[in-house]
Amino acid sequence: MLYLIGLGLADEADITVKGLEVVKRAERVYLEAYTSILHVGKDKLESFYGRPIIIADREMVESSSDEILQDADKVDVAFLVVGDPFGATTHTDLVLRAQELSIPTKSIPNASILNAIGATGLQLYNFGQTVSIVFFTDTWKPASFYDRIRENASIGLHTLLLLDIKVKEQSLENMARGRKIYEPPRYMTVAQCAQQLLEIEQDKQEGVCSADSLAIGCARVGADDQTFACGTLEELSESDLGPPLHSVVLVGKRAHELEKDYLKGFAINQDTFEASWKKYHTRP
């Protein structure tokens, strides 16, 4: 059996009992290590699980899946995913490849950012489409996310923004020369995200991501030191919420007064919070 096991969001203890039982008996244990990260390293996971772990980077998962699936029809193989196996980044492609080889599969769910974001106090059924924000470069500033945010905003829904991470990435020069030299890991911050949103808004001028739009910066959701900061995009563009991982929520116009009361506790500035709420979120 191939098991896809969710690890939750923070550390080694977030795995479910069911998932841990599988890990302890599996022939091989892989850790998917390119779509997200835990707040602890491989050594701590191995100590807690009592098993050696094979790091599965993007190249292995996308190009060398045969190695992961080898003999999985005869023995148990565990594929560990930060968050939920089918959460923010799905792994249906690996399951489909297993099925083509007549390998049985089973997934063991866990918390993901998609449901843990409820810790902001926003009601999950008031969220619209989730979008990803990638690092801009001098020559590449994709803005397709803007349309999704606008669609959510048009019906008053919140938008969860998942921020880019770069793990084991090559520079264009090293890639062109075929050199296996990798750049240091990079994780987008709330401030960087807010700056990019404001930059695109300057081009679009549609009022979707205005400087006084209300948003929530979220850091290390699910960990003991999780942090939330609620303010305007301008305020968040100058914020520092500490180490990764970060995400952002744009607050929709349909926000309830109970949501407002909860968000007040995270407000960077009570006056600007009230002004933005009155402008964008007070119902007639």
pLDDT at residue 35, rounded to an integer: 80
Give me the pLDDT at residue 156, please: 95
Averaged pLDDT of the chain: 92
- pLDDT of 181 reads 66
What does the pLDDT look like over 33-76, one tens digit per residue?
A: 878 889 899 999 999 999 999 998 877 877 778 999 999 999 99
The binding site for S-adenosyl-L-methionine consists of: 9, 84, 87, 112-113, 163, 221, 246
Judged against a pLDDT cut of 80, whether residue 176 lies above it is answered with no
**Taking residues 10-19, what's their average pLDDT?**
97
Lookup: tokens for 23 = 């890990």
Q: Is the pLDDT of residue 284 over 60?
A: no
Considering only CA atoms, which of 103, 101, 28 is closest in space to residue 60? 28
Phi (first) and psi of residue 78, to 5 degrees: -105, 130
Is the confidence at residue 178, as pLDDT, over 80? no
Q: Please state, in angstroms and rounded to a whole number, the distance separating the CA atoms of residues 88 and 125.
A: 17
CA distance from start to end of the chain: 56
Residues 129 and 200: their CA atoms lie apart, in Å, by 19
Residue 61, pLDDT score: 78
pLDDT band at 281 (very low <50, low <70, confident <90, very high): confident
Highest mean pLDDT among 16-30, 89-103, 180-194 belongs to 16-30
- Sorted by sequence, the CB contacts under 8 Å of residue 52 that are 6+ apart come out as 29, 46
Structure confidence by residue, pLDDT tens digits, 207-225? 999 999 999 999 999 999 9
191: left (phi over 0), alpha (psi -120 to 50) or beta: alpha
User: In whole angstroms, what is the distance from residue 55 CA to residue 238 CA?
Assistant: 35
**Has residue 182 got a pLDDT over 90?**
no
Stretch 197-214: mean pLDDT: 96
Question: What are the residue ranges spanned by the domains of the chain?
Answer: 2-111, 114-281
Q: Detail the residues annotated as belonging to a binding site.
A: 9, 84, 87, 112-113, 163, 221, 246
